[in-house]
């Protein structure tokens, strides 16, 4: 039986040495200003040495009002470029590619006073509703994504990924759960997709056609009136026509609850389907660009099956790599052991106290991060 997980994958000229991708995960290790720190650079270097084909960074905010939280990386000024370049060089030294994820938190931004969304809505407890973004603010957001993408290219990143999932700003515009506008950016699915298409067009203008541009998109929101699987499939095919190079399929928004959120607390069963497999299977039939799938892959056999059945072209991992950063290297070497990640989300709690991202079930990891 062919070992598909170890075969190369090319995305618009960017060739990955294998089919494993580290999906964007917020590390909480940037400085207060959002600049890459030595600790954050070390995380990416370690992931590169672990044998992955591609590392997608944690989300980087494209403008200050779009910042999601403390110690999030920034992409809003040229001051980011120097530390980025040093980090990129360290990852490239291991043979791994690295892509910068660009994001705007929209109505879920850390600063509630400046938060804007497609329509007013409340994100979290004890917060006022966000404001509806004006036409001028939308134009500013589009420019901010394009300028950030150009900075990424100048720093040597192998590409950029647009964060259009998980209830962040682009996802908010795509979703009828959040978007109740009656202008050109609301109402029909086509209008709700307008912001993403404008961002993609502006990014392409800045970085050129030969620079890889990816997008992370929900298969659906799993919330009443939210973005649906049918809308996802239509949108991804439209994005391909507008020059997108690859889709990473995820799912859920925070309001979907713990069982269906982007970091759902359901531990996938051995030999069972992974989280978004059904939508990926349908999407893959009409998509010519590579499809990456994240969520619920806990062993090499599942990854191999997804590739063999042509459900996706690349397999993305997040929490299993937090639990065991070396697991991909062992899978590629032929080990069959299942990840010991139990999907408890305890790995995200240390971020709240500024200790970064690690699995607290691993006491050695906890001691290393506390020291």
Residue 351 has pLDDT above 90, yes or no: no
- Cα(179)–Cα(255) distance, rounded to whole angstroms? 14
User: Is 275 a residue of the active site?
Assistant: no
- Cα(207)–Cα(238) distance, rounded to whole angstroms? 20
Structure token pair of residue 260: 């269906």
Which is nearest to 17 in space by CA: 329, 304, 248, 317? 329
Q: What DSSP string runs through 23-86?
A: -------S-TTSPPPHHHHHHHHHHHHTT-SEEEPPPEESSGGG--STTPEE-SSGGGHHHHHH
Orientation angle between helical segments 135-155 and 81-92, nearest 10 degrees: 50
- Cα(189)–Cα(30) distance, rounded to whole angstroms? 36
Per annotation, catalytic residue among 168, 211, 275, 276: 168
Phi, psi torsion values for 214, nearest 5 degrees: -115, 170
pLDDT tens-digit readout, 179-234: 999 999 999 999 999 999 999 999 999 999 999 999 999 999 999 999 999 999 99
C-alpha to C-alpha distances, 239 to 2, 179, 196, nearest whole angstrom: 32, 20, 9
Other Cβ atoms within 10 Å of 12 Cβ, number: 18
Percent of the chain with pLDDT over 90: 81
3-class state of residue 17 by DSSP: coil
The pLDDT of residue 369 is 40
pLDDT tens-digit readout, 110-161: 999 999 999 999 988 789 999 999 999 999 999 999 999 999 999 999 999 9
**Domains of the chain, each with CATH number or no CATH:** 4-337 (3.20.20.70)
């Amino acid at each position: 039986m062919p070992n598909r997980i170890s075969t190369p994958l090319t995305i618009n000229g960017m060739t990955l040495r294998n089919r494993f991708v580290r999906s964007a995960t917020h590390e909480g290790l940037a400085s207060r200003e959002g600049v890459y720190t030595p600790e954050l650079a070390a995380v990416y270097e370690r992931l590169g040495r672990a044998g992955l084909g591609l590392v997608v960074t944690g989300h980087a905010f494209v403008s200050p009002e779009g910042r999601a939280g403390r110690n999030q990386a920034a992409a809003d000024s040229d001051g980011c470029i120097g530390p980025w370049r040093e980090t990129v060089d360290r990852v490239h030294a291991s043979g791994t590619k690295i892509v910068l994820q660009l994001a705007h938190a929209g109505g879920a931004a850390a600063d509630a006073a400046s938060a804007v969304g497609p329509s007013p809505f409340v994100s979290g407890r004890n917060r006022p509703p966000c404001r509806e973004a004006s036409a001028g603010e939308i134009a500013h957001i589009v420019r901010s994504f394009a300028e950030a993408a150009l900075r990424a290219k100048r720093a040597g990143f192998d590409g950029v990924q647009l964060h259009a999932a998980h209830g962040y700003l682009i996802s908010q515009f795509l979703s009828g759960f959040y978007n109740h506008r009656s202008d050109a950016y609301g109402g029909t699915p086509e209008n709700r997709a307008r912001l993403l298409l404008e961002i993609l067009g502006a990014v392409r203008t800045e970085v050129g056609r030969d620079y890889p541009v990816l997008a992370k998109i929900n298969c659906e929101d799993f919330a009443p009136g939210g973005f649906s699987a049918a809308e996802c499939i239509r949108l991804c095919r439209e994005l391909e026509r507008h020059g997108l190079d690859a889709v990473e399929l995820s799912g859920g928004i925070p309001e979907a609850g713990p069982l269906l959120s982007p970091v759902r607390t359901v531990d996938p069963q051995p030999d069972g389907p992974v989280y978004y497999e059904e939508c990926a299977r349908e999407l893959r039939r009409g998509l010519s660009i590579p499809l990456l799938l994240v969520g619920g892959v806990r062993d090499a056999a599942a990854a191999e099956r997804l590739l063999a059945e042509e459900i996706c072209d690349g397999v993305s991992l997040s929490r299993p790599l937090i639990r065991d950063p070396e697991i991909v290297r062992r899978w590629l070497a032929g080990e069959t052991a299942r990840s010991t990640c139990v999907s408890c989300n305890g790995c995200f709690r240390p971020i709240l106290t500024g200790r970064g991202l690690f699995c607290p079930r691993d006491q050695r990891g906890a001691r290393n991060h506390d020291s």
